[in-house]
Amino acid sequence: MSSLSITFFSPPPHQIFRSTPPSSIPFSYTNCSKTPSLTTNIRANNTSKFGSFLHLKPVHKPQTLDFDLPLLHSSDHRPRKFDVVIIGAGPAGIRLAEQVSTYGIKVCCVDPDPLSLWPNNYGVWFDEFEDLDLHDCLDKTWPMTCVYIDDGSAKYLDRSYGRVSRSKLKEKLVGRCISNGVTFHKAKVWKIEHQEFESSILCDDNYELKASLVVDASGFSSDFIDYNTKHRNHGYQIAHGILAEVEEHPFDLDKMVLMDWRDSHLGNEPNLRENNKKRPTFLYAMPFNSNLIFLEETSLVSRPMLSYMEVKRRMEARLRHLGIRVINVLEDEKCLIPMGGSLPRIPQNVLAFGGNSGVVHPSTGYMVARTMALAPVVAGAIVECLGSTRMIRGKQLYAKVWDRLWPIERRFTREFYCFGMETLLKLDLSGSRNFFDAFFDLEPCYWQGFLSSRLSLMELASLCLSLFGHASNLSRFDIVTKCPLPLARMMSNIALESIG
């Protein structure tokens, strides 16, 4: 058994599950030098009514890292030549720049604001970052995670979860980039032109760069990548998140709340409750201490996308019911992640990496740990082509790097994860509860491997059988009635991939 399953009866809303004394986890919100520590209380000047926090403006302003970056000067208009130009200094772009430059490859990273702190709040499984020796870039870890299935039962999962310290991770990667000789250019790329063995990258400050390989790591709304189909048929994860200073909250401090599917907060909201039954949302929560918590109301995947306003209203009702009074919103985020959908055309002259490359987990929306792990693999292919001993460029280079990013087995397994997404899209609240009840009862190697995208096709097939074995009769009925179409689509896509 992978999870400890407990059953309880609903306690009064304001007293749910408080156990660890508030002061037991010393936590200063971030080690980023420019962020005020929350242990020095930011005083409440506009405390919310219970649950109603939407009018509060985030206290924290966007921050930047304190680095002396080797920048290109816009006054120098001679084209500069690099082996690799990477568009975007998000987690994907910076990680790839760091990895490729380790081998002496000449890299330039272009971003309008390369030192700005990444805006999103990233969570990862601790073991994923530990395997990559990046666990020192987590600013908080929880030894366990928790999934509330409904008002009567919860599962405690024996897998640690961490919150990425955006400042530590970016500092570490940018620091290595600088010592490896990466150059940065502060601009937006607006055009790329290709010759046989070289590409010209034109920036919005009229600067021109030349490179043997261009990598587009500009995030989900990339302009430079072609996809297999025009209509990509994404599912969307949409969520509203706040890092909030609160008077109190009911969650255990040693458990990260991965999913809270309870819906008793919608008892007095018939419309919201009906909609939530059909297209459910859950709460994702990272309790840092008894007064500081990250809360995110999340629609795991929807198509068409669930309304953002609906998500916020459900969150308001939930916080009110949980007795969470928000004193200050320190940060807020609108999370919108396209999931699944067709892959980029493989190969093409520009390599996609990160959000635009199809590596987002189609059933969960996670990507950061996977991108960190894939960067050395892709860097290896780049080095084999552009490193000192070999000079493979043009079509051969593009084919090799794309193949390393998306070898055929990985494309097959992605089809499986997309099948997972299509299945989730068909589940209502009760179906989602049954599904996750069975899913987190699987052997840890299955549910952990699935969530971390590390299962082979065979393992995924055995996971399905095992899931069917663990499922309740209702859930089996759901699987039998709702899955054949997505299953047929997956099989035909796999067949097409294998002949194409």
> Restricting to residues 334-353, which ones interact with ligand FAD according to CB under 6 A?
335-337
Stretch that binds ligand FAD, among 13-21, 105-113, 343-351, 458-466 (CB under 6 A): 105-113
The residue with tokens 């070898």 is 407
What gap in Å lies between CA 466 and CA 439, rounded to an integer?
9
Binding of ligand FAD by 333 (CB under 6 A): yes
Q: What are phi and psi of 49, to 5 degrees?
A: -70, 170
CA atoms 257, 262, 266, 272: torsion sign: positive
Binding of ligand FAD by 123 (CB under 6 A): yes
CA atoms 345, 347, 351, 357: torsion sign: positive
Binding of ligand FAD by 219 (CB under 6 A): yes
Per CB under 6 A, the list member of 51, 90, 280, 358 interacting with ligand FAD is 90
Binding of ligand FAD by 330 (CB under 6 A): no
What gap in Å lies between CA 249 and CA 36, rounded to an integer?
22
Q: Judge contact between 15 and 248, C-beta under 8 A.
A: no
Q: How far is the CB of 363 from ligand FAD (least distance, A)?
A: 13
The angle subtended at Cα 63 by Cα 62 and Cα 64, nearest 5°, is 135
Q: How far is the CB of 270 from ligand FAD (least distance, A)?
A: 30
Q: How far is the CB of 370 from ligand FAD (least distance, A)?
A: 7
Closest C-alpha to 140, from 159, 157, 124, 153:
124
Stretch that binds ligand FAD, among 75-83, 91-99, 339-347, 379-387 (CB under 6 A): 91-99
Binding of ligand FAD by 367 (CB under 6 A): yes
Binding of ligand FAD by 82 (CB under 6 A): no
Nearer to ligand FAD by C-beta: 269 or 296?
296
Binding of ligand FAD by 312 (CB under 6 A): no
> With left for phi above 0 and alpha for psi between -120 and 50, is residue 308 left, alpha or beta?
alpha
Q: Which residues contact 106 (CB under 8 A, 6 or more apart)?
A: 81, 82, 83, 84, 181, 183
Per CB under 6 A, the list member of 125, 366, 402, 447 interacting with ligand FAD is 366
Binding of ligand FAD by 217 (CB under 6 A): yes
Nearer to ligand FAD by C-beta: 85 or 149?
85
Cα separation of the two ends of the chain:
41
What gap in Å lies between CA 182 and CA 302, rounded to an integer?
40
Stretch that binds ligand FAD, among 20-28, 40-48, 74-82, 363-371 (CB under 6 A): 363-371
The residue with tokens 């590390």 is 454
Contacts of 461-468 spanning 24+ positions with Cβ under 8 A: 466/442, 467/438, 467/439, 467/442
Per CB under 6 A, the list member of 29, 53, 122, 126 interacting with ligand FAD is 122
Stretch that binds ligand FAD, among 25-33, 35-43, 119-127, 150-158 (CB under 6 A): 119-127
Per CB under 6 A, the list member of 32, 56, 72, 87 interacting with ligand FAD is 87
| Positions that interact with ligand FAD (CB under 6 A) | 87-93, 110-112, 118, 120, 122-123, 188-189, 217-219, 333, 335-337, 354-355, 365-368
